[in-house]
Structure 1
Amino acid sequence: MKIFISVDMEGMAGITSPSQEREETVSFRRALHNQVRWIIEGIQASEKNGEVEEITIADSHGSGRNLSYDELSQMDDRISLVSGSPRPQYMVACLDETYDVAFFAGYHAGPGEICANMDHSFYGKVVSCLKINGAYMNETVTNAAIAASYKVPVGLVIGDSGLRRQLIDKEMMPWVKFVTTKESLTRYAAKFQPQRKLREDTICAVKEVLASDLKKLPLYETAVPAVLGIDFKSTAMADAVALTPGVRRLSGTEVEITCADMKELACGISALTSLSGTAS
């Protein structure tokens, strides 16, 4: 069995602002490693632990250089780390059909969700809204759609209450097992639950998912070719992106491009948002 874990930052307990990444580096990194450690403890305590051959962790926040290879290796000698950027399928880089299940940790709500800590989509400084085939998408369902193209289900999502509301209450992905890390109060404020409880909830959720029939977990499938639509935060950003071959300008700030498959779409998100960032 192979398990894939994508680790973001904004949905982690102990963090409420991007400034902590620069100003509180030690506690910032500890928050990420704690959550990963609890997932690994859940795998080790599960009845399927003996079947697990590889645990791939994709460092999926910012530049992808937040997690310590040494510290992860001490947690479990089956762990491999995907680090750095740019890279294909950024947040789910190296995921393919050989994996049995994916876990998303530290994930957050998409842009515009009320009471959602650090809500955004991919490159938050430039993206106002991201759509696939006309449907509003957050990072969770976008990456779940990429995973589904390889027939890999997302069994567990760990994130804030804003994301839980989008996935479960608003039924974007109502079947997924969800662990809530914090009750988001505003964009930059949250109430953290006791760390002991979050650890216990994580371990129990991981064990529950791995005890299930992974082949029967739902897939978040998306029709391909797929139309990627991005509404940028300024016309200057759209101006820059609109020069890319194949990109269609819809309005002052909106563009779209048709992608042959989900791997191409994932690369399109990285390429177009990076290009738009040069005009921000």
Structure 2
Amino acid sequence: MKLFISADMEGVAGVTNWCETQYGGQGYEEACHQMTSEVAAACRAAIELGYEVVIKDGHENALNIKQTMLPKGVQLIRGWMSSPASMMAGLDDSFDAVAYIGYHSPQGSDTSPLAHTIRHDLFHWIKINGELTSEFSLNALWAAANKVPSVFLSGDNGMCEIAKKNYPGIVTVATKTGIGNATWNIHPEEAVERIEEGVQAGLKAGVALIPIKDEYKMEIHFKDHQHARSASWYPGAFQMDCNTVIYTAKTPEELMIARIFMTGI
């Protein structure tokens, strides 16, 4: 049995300001430590149940997780693989489940001071089939296309509520609640304990795959009209207004390939 862990930073306990999420910023090392502690908790839970574990560091330069803090035997993917899979690069149908650690609310929502989707400086929002899209939504869709269920997510409360609404059966742990430009956090050690328990519960629950739809209509609302104009040149894309570009894909793979070329990230 194999578990894939996709890890981000903005949703781990305590992280509140952008400076904490960027290399060299105030509080960055502490955020890396907590991110690694939460990931390690997920690893311990899976190993106890007999799973092999592969982790994808999915934040910024993807060089944040402290590998020496992880249990022996787990594998860590650092850096970026220049793949449309992005934060899910390395996942294939040999895996049995995916867990998401440190995830955050999407751009266009008000439940985290760090709410964003991929790049907070590039978009006002991204929608798929009319619904506000998070990084989790995109990544869980990629997992489903590979026939791997998403069984667990930790992060801010807003992201947890979205995950539970759209992915029935997924187990979540809210590390904090976003209020304006603040976060109301549980204790970091309590977050670690809850994640370890939650990952075990998710792996035991037997969460079903989400169904693949016939098409995926992606709307990207760029902050700058120049970016929208550039994205509109992608084959099949349509510029609806000065800042919004639409593309309709038949498969999740086609959707993710279009996204990486239309946004350049």
Which residue of structure 1 lines up, in the alignment, with residue 149 of structure 2?
153
**Mapped pair 1:66 → 2:69:** no
SS in 1 for 2:166: coil
Distance 2:178 2:151 in 1: 23
Which residue of structure 2 lines up, in the alignment, with residue 57 of structure 1?
55
Distance 1:3 1:207 in 2: 11
Decide whether the 8 Å contact of 1:5 with 1:102 is kept in 2: yes
- Paired AA for residue 101 in structure 2: A
- Paired AA for residue 182 in structure 1: K
**Mapped pair 1:236 → 2:226:** yes
* RMSD (Å) for aligned C-alpha atoms: 2.0
> Residues 137-160 of structure 1: CA distance to partner in whole angstroms, max 9, x if unpaired?
212122111111111110000010
**Mapped pair 1:92 → 2:82:** no
Aligned residue among 170, 191, 194 for 1:201: 194
Structure 1, unaligned runs of 5 or more? 276-280
Which residue of structure 1 lines up, in the alignment, with residue 47 of structure 2?
44
Distance 1:218 1:99 in 2: 14
Decide whether the 8 Å contact of 2:128 with 2:217 is kept in 1: yes
TM superposition shift of 1:211: 2.5
> Residues 203-247 of structure 1: CA distance to partner in whole angstroms, max 9, x if unpaired?
1111212223x3xx1223341443322111121211121122322
Decide whether the 8 Å contact of 1:88 with 1:267 is kept in 2: yes
Which residue of structure 2 lines up, in the alignment, with residue 181 of structure 1?
175
Measured at CA, do residues 135 and 114 of structure 1 come closer, stay the same or move farther in structure 2, by a change above 3 Å? closer
**Mapped pair 1:172 → 2:166:** yes
Distance 1:237 1:13 in 2: 33
Decide whether the 8 Å contact of 1:10 with 1:117 is kept in 2: no
Distance 2:264 2:146 in 1: 25
Structure 2, unaligned runs of 5 or more? none
Please list, as runs of the form range in 1=range in 2, the aligned pairs for 1:95-106 lying within 5 A after superposition: 95-106=91-102
Instruction: Answer with 246-255 or 83-92: which moved more.
Output: 83-92
TM superposition shift of 1:268: 2.3
Decide whether the 8 Å contact of 2:127 with 2:219 is kept in 1: yes
> Residues 6-57 of structure 1: CA distance to partner in whole angstroms, max 9, x if unpaired?
0011111121112112323321211211111111222233xx22xx2x3111
Distance 1:135 1:183 in 2: 22
**Mapped pair 1:3 → 2:3:** yes
Distance 1:38 1:78 in 2: 12
- Paired AA for residue 68 in structure 2: E
Distance 1:95 1:83 in 2: 15
Measured at CA, do residues 86 and 64 of structure 1 come closer, stay the same or move farther in structure 2, by a change above 3 Å? farther
Which residue of structure 2 lines up, in the alignment, with residue 278 of structure 1?
none
TM superposition shift of 1:260: 4.0
Aligned residue among 252, 255, 264 for 1:262: 252
TM superposition shift of 1:107: 0.6
Decide whether the 8 Å contact of 2:234 with 2:258 is kept in 1: no
TM-score by length of 2: 0.90
Decide whether the 8 Å contact of 2:108 with 2:132 is kept in 1: no
Decide whether the 8 Å contact of 1:111 with 1:128 is kept in 2: yes
Instruction: Answer with 127-136 or 229-238: which moved more.
Output: 127-136
- Paired AA for residue 108 in structure 2: G
- Paired AA for residue 60 in structure 1: G
> Residues 76-108 of structure 1: CA distance to partner in whole angstroms, max 9, x if unpaired?
213242532532310111211111000011111
**Mapped pair 1:251 → 2:241:** yes
SS in 1 for 2:18: coil
Distance 1:179 1:62 in 2: 23
Decide whether the 8 Å contact of 2:43 with 2:74 is kept in 1: no
Q: Percent identity?
A: 24
Instruction: Answer with 92-101 or 241-250: which moved more.
Output: 241-250
Instruction: Answer with 101-110 or 260-269: which moved more.
Output: 260-269
Which residue of structure 1 lines up, in the alignment, with residue 73 of structure 2?
77
Distance 1:75 1:67 in 2: 12
Measured at CA, do residues 260 and 159 of structure 1 come closer, stay the same or move farther in structure 2, by a change above 3 Å? same
